[in-house]
Amino acid sequence: MEPFPSDQIQLPRNMIENSMFEEEPDVVDLAKEPCLHPLEPDEVEYEPRSSRLLVRGLGEHEIDDDEEDYESSAKLLGMSFMNRSSGLRNNMSVYRQNPSGSCSVPSTRTMVVCTVVLVIAVSLIMAIYLLPKCTFTKEGCHKKNHTMELIYPLATNGKLFPWAKIRLPPDVVPLHYDLVLQPNLTTLKFAGSVKIVVNIVQVTWKIVLHSSGLNITKATITSAGGHQEKPVEFLEYPLHDQLAVIAPEALLVGQNYTVSIEYSSNLSDTYYGFYKISYKDENSKQRWFAATQFEPVAARSAFPCFDEPAFKATFLIKIKRDEKLSTLSNMPKKATTPVTNGIVQDEFFVSLKMSTYLVAFVVADLKNISRETNGSLVSVYAIPQHLNQVGYALNTAVKLLEFYQKYFLINYPLEKLDLVAIPDFQSGAMENWGLITFRETTLLFDSNTSSARDKKLITAVIAHELAHQWFGNLVTMEWWNDLWLNEGFATFMEYFAMEEIFPELHSDEDFLNLIFKAMMKDSLNSSHPVSSAVQSSEQIEEMFDALSYIKGASLLLMLKHYLTKDVFQAGIEVYLHNHSYGSAQSDDLWDSMNEITNGTLDVKKLMKTWILHKGFPLVTVVRKGKIISVQQEKFLYCMEPENWTSDASYLWHIPLTYITSSCNLTHCTNAYLLDQKSAVIELPEEVEWVKFNVDMNGYYIVHYAEDWKTLIDLLKKNHTALSPKDRANLINNIFNLAGLGKESLEKAFELIDYLNKENSTAPLTQALFQLSLIYSLLEKKGEQQLAARVMHRIEHLLGDKIDQQSWTDDGTLSERELRSTLLAFACTHGIRNCRATATEMFEKWMKSNGTMSLPSDVMKAIFTAGAKSSDGWEFLLKTYSSSVSEAEKNKMIEALASTEDVRKLIWLMQNSLEGEVIRAQELSRIVATVSQSLPGYLLAWDFVKENWEKLTRKFHLGSYTIQNIISWSTSQFATKAHLLEVKSFFESKSEESSQLRCVKEAIDTIQLNIQWMEGNLAKLRELL
């Protein structure tokens, strides 16, 4: 199609603009307004959904590859052309009126003209929508760099803001930051100044960077080699957290300039940015503590910066503080100098090149212990009264650091590594380079009160954060769409390292349970690909979920098994060496792997089928003699039509693994790459049974069709023929298939009948999890009798196992962890004599005023039983307030939240949100526990509704805490009335709230609960 020539329809400029923006009162026309500052040729595009304060101007425009922006501009200009043609038709007065008012029949000439105009209008509209890569202007269609009407937002002062995208322009890059901060822990404010050395990539008049909630008082710019700071105008656009520094003259390509900014702000009362924490010291006196949490987008609230992961730079940090306190940052301290009376300044060495979200500093009264390894000083810091609980963390960190250096063949590059326990911290930990911050429960180990599970948690979190020092810090994802490169890798390495160094912890069993839970989330229609396009801060926050962490890690586990461990390790080494101190995308990882496979396997082609698509495959296996037919389809629940998106034809490249009854010591596991819809595998001989997805090392579910009966018989006769992970895998798969309608619930119950012979943790916990889900749904639906029959079935299967548990800390770590799980469950649901034994132990402990030592593995079960009485609950709360063991307090919190006293539950949630007696960091755990009980599940949802604004102010929309709170407070609903209520509530909130992925997941989950109940309630009555 030819571009529309400009001389065919000439309209006055003002007519075009007025027809385009008829109902846009806040638009400023650059053609009529005086120029506020020089405009850039390539910097603005139409952006829907941003501020209504939009501005049009003329300039050069480079069309972006972003489809949404292109399409929006096309539609906008299409409206313009339609309005032009309608205006033209009106002006031509096609139909002439008679004096009497009736219309005369149009002449032939008029009809011809009308037809021509109509054809022209239709042609224009078709051109707009059909011509690819065109920039439409008054002159027609141009491929690139031609004038277009541009749209800018307005800054806070009413002037034009020179950038309209959420992402920063690429024309300026930061090289170095000099940052000086002075936090005041009395006024709870801080002052700061930053000097940013930037390099100019394209000629520009402006420098756009991030700033959020900062009171900027002064901004200047200095050219390279220049000594004179020139004051500059700065504009702020809070909707995108952006600050534009307007240069007095053009900034030249290749030149360096220094931007200096002075500002002040309050220490944050959320968990983001530079925030304040209060705690009680040994003398119960209130003390203040200031710490940072910048990931993903909060560095901008502590200092103006280019707050995107790819904008790496070096940092020189200086902090002024009270001489009685201490400071820590990413790098070792270089010098401390007096400033004024009682105030000193700590200066730290210049950092390595890193992203802004990894910058960190802490100002507090801390104590530490240290040990050197391989030229780096490893230290663990805590508030003074917790110093006796940091020993285990130090030993663990040193072992893990040594392991990673050997495995990656790259030394940890800093001279020090600090691990700091923060008294109030939203997430588990944060991997800031050289200064890792932790919640106290994930770093402090108390030999008297920390259980086997606590030890495993601490080890896992340290392993995860240390892996980040390479995956995330040394090599960083280019943008948040590939967050899984950071989090998936760190999760994978966490479990891999624990198996290698701490095999006694049996961490692979935990990983298995996490994969099962990630697959539950990934089976929903509201799931997302591991690598997903994101723009806004809410979308970025929501990427921190089970799919980025667990699915990402499980895909790496699957790849490691398929490539073999040596090839996989070599690929990782190439990836880290090629991208050190830089940024990477998913394809860079696959290219590194392909360097090692050297054409024998296209890793990129294989793995793109997994990371660019949501969900996972269901593989159906049919065995006839020696022939096995395998077929793949998407594992997908049938949802309500309006919520269902079909991609049933999608094809994964699945590295299948299988074992058979003819397994021998030299050759057990077989592999087959299923890259077609279906295939046939021929076995060398006939076998009694076959089990696919060995040890659940692949991210898929298997349906055995007729062979389920064979596997059920195998478990009854000789369950140890399969590994514990394989047994857990079968339990998980058959219950999922029953939910899908592919297999009967009766067969699922038949499969777990063997459990009274089971001694391994993984299958027992998976069976308990599946049965608990059914019990909870029935209980909340008011089917108490049926729920009691499910609990009777659980008691029949596991009662003897529960009776065998001793109330001690004896046995292997795996045995101890199973004991914790079984006894806590039994005491919660009143199975056997668990509650009586626990209550007796609790009363003895209460009589000793909490001084008597309790076995740490069964402490939670004892506290849960004790909290059933009003006196026990009050005593637990009082002890909680004075306890110095975070591990003990953690168990108390869950016990307090398991009471059936409605008033106590409401108080507990409200108090935690206010953070007075119980810290707000515990709220997610409290809501989760409250939601599981019959009196609590409606209270939790009411609490969320009533406190939504407070919750999202404290924890931020999209954050992991908000995701968990929404999920837990709605996951027990299974009625259409509750579905409507949840939908209506979120629709009544802001668009950002209603569009949250976790809200869509909650709605999907309720619909599935309803569907499950409708499909299985009658069957359950027959079955039980």
Q: Enumerate the active-site residues.
A: 465
Q: Which helix H or strand E contains 1012, and what residues bound it?
A: helix 997-1023
Residue with token string 């909680």: 880
Q: Is the dihedral of CA 565, 570, 571, 573 positive or negative?
A: positive
Rg (CA), the chain: 32
405 token code pair: 């250096």
Length of the chain measured in residues:
1024
H helices of 642-723, where? Answer: 708-718
188 token code pair: 């709870």
Q: Concatenated DSSP letters for 870-899?
A: HHHHHHHHHHHHH---HHHHHHHHHHHTT-
Residues 6+ apart with CB under 8 A from 692: 619, 621, 630, 656, 657, 658, 702, 704
Are the C-beta atoms of 288 and 278 separated by less than 8 Å?
A: yes
Q: 789-813 burial string, b = 16+ CB within 10 Å, else e?
A: bbbebbbebbeebbeebebebeeeb
Beta strands 54-61 and 28-29: pairing type? parallel
Q: Which helix H or strand E contains 623, and what residues bound it?
A: strand 617-624
- List Cα–Cα distances, 16 to 10, 85, 151, in angstroms: 10, 10, 15
411 token code pair: 């030394």
Q: 647-683 burial string, b = 16+ CB within 10 Å, else e?
A: eeeeebbbbbbbbbeebeeeeeebeeebeeeebebeb
DSSP 362: E
Q: Is the dihedral of CA 997, 998, 1003, 1006 positive or negative?
A: positive
Closest CA to 152 of 23, 37, 22: 37
Residues 6+ apart with CB under 8 A from 228: 222
H helices of 413-481, where? Answer: 452-468
What residues pair up with 679 in beta bridges, in sequence order? 630
Residues 6+ apart with CB under 8 A from 580: 410, 474, 475
Are the C-beta atoms of 1004 and 643 separated by less than 8 Å?
A: yes
Half-sphere exposure of 511 (CA within 13 A, CB side): 33
Provide the residue type at 280 as one letter. Answer: K
| Torsion of Cα atoms, 861 then 863 then 864 then 869, to 10° | 140
Beta strands 670-674 and 654-660: pairing type? antiparallel
Residues 6+ apart with CB under 8 A from 33: none
Closest CA to 724 of 696, 744, 690: 696
- List Cα–Cα distances, 301 to 212, 292, 306, 655, in angstroms: 5, 10, 12, 45
Q: Longest C-alpha distance within the chain, in Å?
A: 107
858 token code pair: 């069964």
Number of Cβ atoms within 10 Å of the Cβ of 926: 25
DSSP 626: T
- List Cα–Cα distances, 58 to 67, 70, 164, 401, 587, in angstroms: 22, 17, 15, 56, 38
Phi-psi region of 27 (alpha: psi -120 to 50; beta: other; left: phi over 0): beta
